[in-house]
Copies of this chain bind each other. A is one copy, B any other.
Amino acid sequence: MSSKKRYEDLGFAKLDFSRASRTGYHEVIFGEGKSIKQAGDIFARLAKDNETVILTRANPEMGDYVLSLCPDAVYHPTARIAEKHNRAKSPVGFVAVATGGTADEPVAEEAAVVLEAFGSRVERFYDIGVAGVHRIFDNLDGLKKANCIIAVAGMEGALPSVIGGLVSVPLIAVPTSVGYGANLGGVTTLLSMLCSCAAGVSVVNIDNGFGAAYQADMINKMVAKSGGKLRI
């Protein structure tokens, strides 16, 4: 295939139309560093051909502009995401998204909203951090039923270790930049999670809720497609 057919050039961006056939996923727009108009126009262009369009790291003004172009899109202020997907379809499988504290919520919501736009069923287990570890036990039955768990935490990043020691589900850890001083902008949390004493834990970049969601969605759908673990 020639390169001409695989891209569409909007002047300020090349849209990659062979991506879905290559990876099974359409391109997701990363809003940071784009102008409101650029992000919105890419969204609108993709929305012409695709059922699902997702724009992450979108501030409220960006969200407003997208909605003015695509009235069927939705803007999620905590997740900072504008997205459009087929809301009639039933979500499949089950991904659990857990957080240590309320400050981790924006990153967790980025993950949860992306998963929902991709068509995965999500349940949120927020504010169950290790400084009150009984909260994890209160939610253990729910966590155990997931096909994949995303654990979002800042500071010492201990949440994935504690959950990972209690379940047999693939767990993706997302360090957040919540903390100060010795936290080094989330780098300590990141390194700490990579040293987790619980096996079965892998890690994505700081604040990268989208990346965790992307991998969790692949796992969840591969399992769900064939019956896999019990889900509702």
Contact = CB atoms under 8 A, between A and B. Distances in A.
Interface in A17-49: 18-19, 22-25, 28, 32-33
A91 interface: no
Contacts of A12: 102
Contact of A22 (B166, B194, B195): B166
Contacts of A120: none
A38 to B, nearest CB: 9
B130 A158 contact: yes
A85 to B, nearest CB: 17
Given A23-B167, A229-B222, A194 B200 contact: no
A226 interface: yes
Nearest to A208: B181
Contacts of A133: 133, 136, 162, 165-166
B170 A219 contact: yes
A127 B14 contact: yes
B199 A202 contact: no
Nearest to A222: B223
Contacts of A100: 197
Interface stretch (A58-66, A67-75, A172-180): A172-180
A26 to B, nearest CB: 11
Interface in A192-221: 192-208, 210-212, 214-215, 218-219
A177 B189 CA distance: 17
B135 A3 contact: yes
Contacts of A170: 215, 218-219, 222
A199 B28 contact: yes
Given A23-B168, A165-B130, A166-B133, A206 B182 contact: yes
Given A155-B197, A199-B25, A226-B228, A181 B207 contact: yes
The 9 closest A-B pairs by CB, nearest first: A181-B206, A158-B158, A24-B168, A226-B226, A202-B202, A226-B227, A131-B165, A182-B194, A226-B228
Given A156-B157, A225-B228, 7 more contacts: A33-B103, A156-B158, A156-B197, A170-B219, A182-B206, A201-B215, A219-B219
